[in-house]
Structure 1
Amino acid sequence: MKPNTLLWWIHRKNARYLIKIFGLFNILLLFAAWRFLYRVEGNVSNYNVNKVERAVANAEASKETTDNSQKFREDSGQINRSPLEQKLQIRKKKLEELRQYNKENIKNEKHRLPKVIGLGIKKCGSTGVITFLSHHPLVRIPPGHETFFFADKFHQGLDAYKGMLPPTNERQLAMEKTPIYFGFPPENMPQLIKSSIPDVKLLVIVCDPTARAFSDFIHERVKYKIANEKMVAKYETFEQYVDAFLPTLQDKIKSWMTSSTHISDLRKNFVDLPRGNAAMTLLTNGIYSAHIKSWQSLFNESSLKIIDGDRFIEDPGTVIEELQDFLGLPKVLLKEDFVRRPSDGHFCYRHFAVEDLQISNKEVDVKELKCLGKHKGRTRKGNYTASAETMERLRAFFRPFNQQFYEDVGMNFNWK
């Protein structure tokens, strides 16, 4: 091979190798560049992920701090809520606790003696009081509300009395009301109740005796119908009834009293009246001063509650709130729960929730209302009337007894 040819061959070979080497170098360079970019992208991605995770963590921490701060403000009363909203929130928690307690203590329920008894007075709102109180999760009442145990079933024994009442757990109150307890036989009714249930609490709902007598008359006539001779059904009008019984009652009281006689000294006389003439009790039931001292002698203010029935009719919510305090119950029935029925204006119960605050001018849904029977409030509806002269005669008759009752209980009811 010629020298020049050999030299050319050497250069040719080297060029070929150089091309391969250069190509390999480029491949390595591209691979290195790819690895570098991959790492950079990975670091950026990891950085972004970590940044997002840190942001989420910070948000959660901030939320937890806010929640804890809000909880603290709620517990400490510092949160900016209206007084009503705070009241409803507190009630909501109490209701949840009480319902949970009742659920957990179903097995501990048993028939017990009542812790609360309504003594009357008939036609003054005793049914309304016990019915509205029964919406409390710690109050249980029997069907029909009345047992008449101390009136005519005492001989059956206290175990029989327990069986007349619904079963209750340790915290619940069994309650009944029998309006004739206050002023009907037996004369020793206060002693019977005190000896049988020493720690019982008593409710006495009173109202204007004149309006009460008229309401009682209408109740008896509707109940027994006109054709029935029982009680007062034979008297066509309230005026006829008053003419028949008021003079007789006035003569009796005049014959019983002396200048030194307190009306309460005549309790036995008034208690005995129904035995001979039940119809006269429509009048005597309103002479509260003849009986109240017999009850006060055994039950003090912590166990005997006098309730203004006329006030209850106009503002049941406030009275029910006060009664929960008297009975030692958690206050979960609020005055906001009581609204007037659109059809007749009588108050009904409807649970007022926190959510209702968000609805302005919410109309009353009659389906939500829990009302007393439609037969209640007959005389207040204006369907029945009595002459002004007859009503004034009764007011004059009751006036001195009312004044004595005001002094006995330390309350002025301002009955006409």
Structure 2
Amino acid sequence: AFPRDLMPRTLDGQITMEKTPSYFVTREAPARISAMSKDTKLIVVVRDPVTRAISDYTQTLSKRPDIPTFESLTFKNRTAGLIDTSWSAIQIGIYAKHLERWLRHFPIGQMLFVSGERLISDPAGELGRVQDFLGLKRIITDKHFYFNKTKGFPCLKKAEGSGKPHCLGKTKGRPHPEIDREVVRRLRDFYRPFNLKFYQMTGQDFGWDG
């Protein structure tokens, strides 16, 4: 079962939300969440799987500087161009494969896929979609954001007189290592069919293959 009892109680007019990045790629999660509540609405933030894999590697590298290079982890056999799909940094970005599992338990109409890229370039627009999906009045708008040039991310302004704005943590926005262009090209070729299938399944073109 899913830990519904651990969630806060809500009043009429309130929505309980719970966030765990690994749910979308955890095999047991769809069945467990469906068993808890078939009416659950699901919001998934996705980004270019190649950029996501490099970001994943960068985060691991910051904790374990002795790990092998991104290039060596990417391939089972680099000469043959065989991508190692068992490496989690690669496997997570095969979104269509994960979505197939969720669609066995939830209709696509109960799922919203948010563009990680547009969340940075147009945060109010993407959050407008989230508010619409949840049946909420559009309260969060452009006036609630400003762009932090140092970080390269938008920050959420606080209400007047309530202190500092809320920006993403120190781990966000760190520079990525330089990755061999040929490796990036091969990864893009690898992900392309999965991306196109994901676009068809969600009815959204995320523009990762432009």
Indicate whether the TM-score tops 0.5. Answer: yes
Distance 1:310 1:342, change over 3 A: closer
d(CA) in 2 for partners of 1:387, 1:306: 30
Shift of 1:287: 0.7
d(CA) in 2 for partners of 1:245, 1:214: 19
Aligned length: 208
Aligned to 2:166: 370
Which structure 2 residue ranges, 5 or more long, are not aligned? none
d(CA) in 1 for partners of 2:9, 2:138: 22
1:246-284 per-residue CA deviation (whole Å, 9 max, x = no partner) reads 78994888xxxxxxxxxxxxxxxxxxx6xxxxxx11111
SS of 2:50's partner is: helix
Superposition TM-score, scaled by structure 2 size: 0.85
Shift of 1:342: 4.2
d(CA) in 1 for partners of 2:102, 2:81: 24
Structure with greater contact order relative to length (CA < 8 Å, sep ≥ 6) = 2
Residue pair 1:302, 1:326 contacting (<8 A) in 2 also: no
Distance 1:286 1:190, change over 3 A: same
SS of 2:152's partner is: coil
Residue pair 2:151, 2:173 contacting (<8 A) in 1 also: no
Identity over aligned residues, as a percent?
Answer: 32
Distance 1:383 1:242, change over 3 A: closer
- Is the aligned partner of 1:409 residue 2:205? no
SS of 1:173's partner is: coil
Match among 166, 187, 190 for residue 394 of structure 1: 187
Aligned to 2:27: 185
Distance 1:207 1:345, change over 3 A: closer
CA RMSD of aligned residues (A): 2.8
Flag the structure with larger Rg.
Answer: 1
d(CA) in 2 for partners of 1:388, 1:368: 40
Shift of 1:175: 0.9
Shift of 1:346: 1.4
Aligned to 1:240: 72
SS of 1:182's partner is: helix
More helix by share: 1
d(CA) in 2 for partners of 1:306, 1:320: 11
SS of 1:343's partner is: coil
**Counterpart residue type for residue 225 of structure 1:** R
**Counterpart residue type for residue 226 of structure 1:** P
Distance 1:293 1:248, change over 3 A: farther
SS of 1:198's partner is: coil
Distance 1:300 1:384, change over 3 A: same
1:28-76 per-residue CA deviation (whole Å, 9 max, x = no partner) reads xxxxxxxxxxxxxxxxxxxxxxxxxxxxxxxxxxxxxxxxxxxxxxxxx
1:14-34 per-residue CA deviation (whole Å, 9 max, x = no partner) reads xxxxxxxxxxxxxxxxxxxxx
Distance 1:249 1:282, change over 3 A: farther
Residue pair 1:339, 1:350 contacting (<8 A) in 2 also: yes
Residue pair 1:320, 1:335 contacting (<8 A) in 2 also: no
SS of 1:348's partner is: strand
d(CA) in 2 for partners of 1:214, 1:168: 39
d(CA) in 2 for partners of 1:282, 1:393: 15
d(CA) in 2 for partners of 1:239, 1:252: 11
SS of 1:384's partner is: coil
Shift of 1:193: 1.2
Residue pair 1:296, 1:304 contacting (<8 A) in 2 also: no
Which structure 1 residue ranges, 5 or more long, are not aligned? 1-153, 228-233, 254-272, 274-279, 354-366
Match among 65, 75, 85 for residue 226 of structure 1: 65
d(CA) in 2 for partners of 1:387, 1:252: 16
Aligned to 1:162: 5
